[in-house]
């Protein structure tokens, strides 16, 4: 036992988001952090309990992503911390909205197309220090004075973002459908009917290479990694208990070279686990590429027509099938075009040298002009992803749920070894405690599930929503949820509590929009 070496009795500790820092230090083995508890001793029991489990058993029993030290990266400098911690302190006793984006220390990390997005009306949010367009406001748009200030949603805080680079207040914060609801719907419509362009450069990216790369990756993931050059697979890194730790898109570009893409907000978390799990014999090399490679997503039924104007590469299904990638020329620039996306439409992710981003952005927007191409943001992407029942870390995918409970069956290959396999099988054989479902929420007018809403059956708590929102393509309010077994059958009816009111929630088929993926696989 090391014991306690020193105890400080000093200033109250704060963090940029107000949450404590509990868990393993990135880059160090056997070094643990438990600090930033602005409310002091009140967190001692829970933090100590989970940290002890983490150290002794190798894993906490509660998903700790919200307090994990690796939610920050090297961008969190002393100057950044000062500005964000002051902001956190000033907002301790204010009402916090689910769509709130705090302005201090921003913008910090911007992609080359940032100015182009601004010119098109982007309203930005921030993740892992990156500025990302949440939605696009019409030219000259401003939140009316009548909708600002104290109102039904406001107690001791303003209900809107401060004025941004336009000098105008453009976003209202709310627990209900807000002022951007209509505009996000227009972005979804543009992508669904024609095509749209989205900057997803914040994706965490890593090159994995070396003589042992294939064998090592195969030993990590529950799914099999791609065998052919140019193929893509969705792979999950599990915990030793069979829960889901991370999700990666794995793209094979050479015999022993792989390109891994994961959630931008968890770059330090995901890459830290990869580094700590890599063999020490030099057979595997890891090369972080997040800031070297940008990502533009072109999606929609006209995306092939736009791409065909910019490249000589054949884009038909036989030459360029779904879940494959190729290095291509786009105008005068270059990219790895990967035929996947998170919106459920025909399209490509264009992974490119970051310094060529504007050349690609301009070429795509020019080529797409005849199809009335529109930029779209994260909120439109999320709305479309929910209609496809796409899972997210740490919502539907969590260390608290086994990979089977999260309905990842098609991504689990039991004819090979991987981390967590033994306990995953045991948990499944002993009976899953949860079932992943997609729900249609009925009777709502101005509010949707966002996640963590309680779900009841005959007055008894049987689960919780993990995510939710309005499905513009379905014209329905959708919730994703984990419920107790016995409630997952199609047509099962439950009640979900949203903002204090109960609404009927009916289990519908997974991926209620284009369940057969015909739009993703389209050949025309």
Confidence of residue 10 (pLDDT cuts 50, 70, 90): confident
Taking the CA atoms of residue 78, residue 83, residue 88 and residue 90 in that order, the dihedral angle to the nearest 10 degrees is 140
Closest CA to 248 of 262, 238, 259: 262
pLDDT digits (tens, 9 = 90+) for 104-132: 999 999 999 999 999 999 999 999 999 99
What's CA 114's distance to the chain center, in Å?
20
Q: Which residues pair with 347 in a beta bridge?
A: 299
Strands 196-199 vs 374-375: parallel, antiparallel or unpaired? parallel
Q: Using the structure block, give the residue that is written with the tokens 């107690």.
A: 155
pLDDT digits (tens, 9 = 90+) for 34-55: 999 988 778 888 999 999 999 9
pLDDT digits (tens, 9 = 90+) for 221-234: 999 999 999 999 99
Domains and CATH numbers, the chain: 1-93 (3.50.50.60), 114-194 (no CATH), 204-288 (3.30.70.1400), 434-513 (2.40.30.110)
Mean pLDDT (the chain) is 95
**What DSSP string runs through 77-110?**
-HHHHHHHHHHHHHTTTS---TT----TT-S-B-
The C-alpha atoms of residue 373 and residue 366 are separated, in whole angstroms, by: 9
Q: For position 152, what pLDDT does the model report?
A: 46
CA distances from 320 to 226, 327, 339, 400, 418 (A): 16, 11, 8, 38, 30
pLDDT digits (tens, 9 = 90+) for 130-186: 999 999 999 999 999 988 875 444 455 689 999 999 999 999 999 999 999 999 999
Query: What does the block give as tokens for 340?
Result: 């996947």
The yes-or-no verdict on residue 437 having pLDDT over 60 is yes
CA distances from 166 to 7, 100, 140, 160, 199 (A): 48, 18, 9, 15, 20
- Integer-rounded Cα Rg, in Å, for the chain is 23
Contacts of 61 (CB under 8 A, 6+ apart): 50, 53, 400
Q: For position 156, what pLDDT does the model report?
A: 55
The C-alpha atoms of residue 332 and residue 359 are separated, in whole angstroms, by: 7
């Amino acid at each position: 036992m090391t014991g306690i070496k020193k105890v400080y009795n000093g200033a109250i500790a704060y963090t940029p988001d107000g949450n404590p820092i509990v868990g393993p230090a990135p880059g160090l083995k056997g070094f643990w952090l438990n600090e930033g508890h602005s409310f002091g001793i009140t967190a001692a029991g829970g933090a100590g309990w989970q940290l002890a489990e983490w150290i002794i058993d190798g894993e906490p029993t509660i998903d700790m992503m919200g307090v994990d030290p690796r939610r920050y990266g090297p961008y969190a400098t002393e100057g950044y911390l000062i500005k964000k911690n002051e902001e956190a302190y000033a907002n301790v006793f204010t009402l916090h909205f689910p769509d709130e984006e705090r302005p201090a220390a921003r913008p910090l990390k911007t992609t080359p197309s940032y100015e182009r997005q601004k010119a098109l009306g982007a309203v930005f949010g921030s993740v892992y220090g990156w500025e990302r367009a949440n939605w696009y406001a019409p030219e000259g748009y401003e939140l009316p004075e009548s909708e600002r200030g104290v109102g039904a949603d406001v107690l001791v805080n303003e209900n809107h973002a401060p004025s941004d680079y336009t000098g105008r207040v453009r976003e209202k914060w709310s627990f209900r459908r807000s002022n951007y609801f209509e505009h996000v719907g227009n972005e979804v419509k543009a992508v669904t009917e024609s095509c749209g362009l989205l900057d997803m450069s914040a994706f965490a990216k890593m090159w994995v290479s070396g003589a042992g790369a294939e064998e090592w990756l195969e030993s990590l993931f529950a799914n099999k990694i791609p065998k052919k050059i140019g193929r893509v697979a969705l792979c999950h890194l599990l915990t030793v208990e069979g829960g889901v730790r991370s999700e990666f898109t794995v793209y094979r570009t050479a015999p022993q070279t792989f390109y891994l893409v994961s959630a931008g907000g968890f770059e330090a978390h995901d890459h830290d686990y990869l580094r700590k799990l890599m063999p020490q014999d030099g057979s595997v090399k890891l090369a972080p590429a997040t800031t070297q490679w940008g990502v533009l997503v072109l999606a929609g039924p006209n995306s092939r027509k736009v791409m065909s104007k910019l490249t000589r590469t054949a884009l038909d299904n036989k030459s360029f099938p779904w879940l494959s990638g190729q290095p291509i020329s786009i105008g005068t620039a270059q990219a790895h075009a990967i035929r996947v996306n998170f919106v459920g439409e025909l399209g490509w992710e264009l992974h490119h040298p970051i310094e060529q981003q504007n050349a690609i952005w301009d070429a795509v927007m020019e080529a797409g002009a005849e199809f009335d191409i529109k930029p779209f943001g994260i909120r439109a992407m999320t709305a479309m992803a929910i209609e496809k029942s796409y899972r997210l870390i740490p919502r539907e995918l969590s260390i608290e749920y086994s990979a089977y409970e999260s309905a990842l069956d098609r991504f689990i290959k039991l004819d090979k070894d991987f981390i967590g396999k033994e306990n995953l099988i045991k948990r499944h054989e002993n009976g899953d405690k949860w079932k992943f479902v997609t729900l249609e929420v009925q009777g709502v007018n101005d509010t949707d599930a966002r996640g963590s809403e309680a779900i009841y059956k005959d007055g008894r708590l049987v689960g919780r929503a993990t995510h939710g929102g309005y499905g513009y393509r379905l014209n329905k309010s959708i919730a994703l949820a984990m419920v107790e077994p016995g409630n997952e059958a199609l047509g099962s009816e439950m009640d979900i509590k949203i903002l204090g009111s109960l609404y009927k929630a009916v289990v519908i088929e997974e991926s209620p929009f284009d369940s057969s993926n015909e739009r993703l696989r389209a050949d025309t």
